[in-house]
Copies of this chain bind each other. A is one copy, B any other.
């Protein structure tokens, strides 16, 4: 590849090339007979000239009464824009969600962000229900921006019925909404990664889900010294309640109350349980059981005959098999804040204890029947995009994600713009990304832009070279520069 320093030097010296916009002279008013139809043309041309002559300044601004009003340039309260730098992080995160899901053989699904409100209404005092972003649509239907994905998934499973062979392994990455009346600096939307296994009654399913989350953590550099899982089973509570003959229909409500045990004073919890109709004796026993952190101790209290202990023992033995024991601990106080869980529940927390739960999930074998469908055993988790990013920041693990465009292509003369476009098209046809400089700009500007987009190569299309069918190439990392025939450009 013959170096052509002299020629490139020529490019580099006159930093400001004198190509202003395309000349207008050829579009001057033609010396024709002014027929009636051309009167219009003349008026138009004169009018255009008497305005501002800017190429893009043809229309006057709208009248004040019609449109002009300073809009709030921020996104609505509690929502986010994703400018390129934030979008790169989101894409990186989602890519890892998707890649882990693929490794585990899960299929991606999605549902409308807007659902019928009825899908989310459960009478259990859930936070998620109280903060439902609901409203009436123009057809007077009660709808809601989904607060979570699981009810939609359950709806779709019922709809598909027996046409889909079980088990289903589905994942989704979708935006979820809530409406908080109080403002605590929390957002009204977040994205959530869900993985769900439909049709497997055994805790092998829960083990698989926890394994996928751990796989995700490892991929992004998070270890068992950063985070841990707390695992329990709703059946623990259920067995205690049953022993005090507390009606089963209070179960969901009790779970929701107990889920707030770390957020509210103990007295409030006790009062809430009492109001729900739980006896003082049962409350004391409940709280005693909830404080247990060891599976052996739980077995001592509940005995080994119930499903709670059996499920948990099996799960922990599978987890040991996976080699994930250091990630996971039993903690009877974990119940999760959704009414529909029926078995194993788990959540992931940061070991420094600074953040909210990173993700959470569990078994929900009875959700489908609450929608009028036949029950199918199911479990899943939700993993938000907010806390994990906070954690990555804390740990200095946020990836560096710069824009990277492989080539920047620039015409050195305005009449070569079409040629430059052709060069760009050829490179793109070879799978190379190209930022085409669309205006006549000084080379100083081009180099600045090349640096900003982290271009590897600058391709210059100049008259001298182009007459030989060649273009100038500059490798921006090394400074190496050469001329090359267009058809040899890779």
The reply on A480 being an interface residue by CB < 8 A is: no
Please judge, given known A-B contacts A107-B84, A109-B81, A434-B104, whether A251 and B47 are in contact too, CB under 8 Å.
no
Complex CA gap A91/B173 in Å reads: 12
- How many of these chains are in the complex? 2
Against B, the Cβ 8 Å flags (1 = close, 0 = not) of A59-83 are 1111100111111111110011111
Across the interface, which residues of B come within 8 angstroms of A91, CB to CB?
108
User: Looking at chain A, what size class is its interface with the partner chain?
Assistant: 35 or more
Interface 1/0s, chain A 100-117, versus B by CB < 8 A? 001111011111111110
Supposing A115-B75, A197-B438 touch, asked if A238 and B105 sit within 8 A by C-beta, the answer is no
Which of A223-231, A306-314, A325-333, A345-353 contacts the other chain? A306-314
One digit per residue, 1 when the CB lies within 8 angstroms of any chain B CB and 0 when it does not, for chain A 311-327 equals 10110011011110000
A294 contacts the other chain (Cβ, under 8 Å)?
A: no
Which residue of B30, B165, B211 contacts A304 across the interface (Cβ within 8 Å)? B30
The answer to whether B63 and A418 have CB atoms under 8 Å apart is no
A439 adjacent to chain B (CB < 8 Å): yes
Beta-carbon contact of B27 and A111 below 8 Å:
no
A305/B422 in contact, CB under 8 A = no
Note all chain B residues with C-beta closer than 8 A to A251.
59
Chain B residue with minimal CB distance to A84?
B107
Nearest chain B residue, comparing its CB with the CB of A83: B109
- Would B56 and A343 count as touching, CB distance under 8 A? yes
Selected from B165, B243, B311, B323, the residue in CB contact (under 8 A) with A43 is B243
| Most B Cβ at <10 Å: residue of A58, A285, A320 | A58
Residue of B nearest to A342 (CB): B59
Once bound together, how far apart are the Cα atoms of A201 and B311, in whole Å? 66
* Pair B59/A418 contact, Cβ less than 8 Å: no
How many angstroms from the CA of A39 to the CA of B55 in the assembled complex? Answer: 88
- Cβ of A18 < 8 Å from any Cβ of B? no
Q: How far is the CB of A253 from chain B (nearest CB, A)?
A: 9
Among A197-247, those with CB < 8 Å from B are 197, 200-202, 204-205, 207-208, 211, 215, 234-235, 238-240, 242-243
- What string of 1s and 0s marks CB contacts (under 8 Å) between A145-186 and chain B? 100000010011011100001010110000101010100000
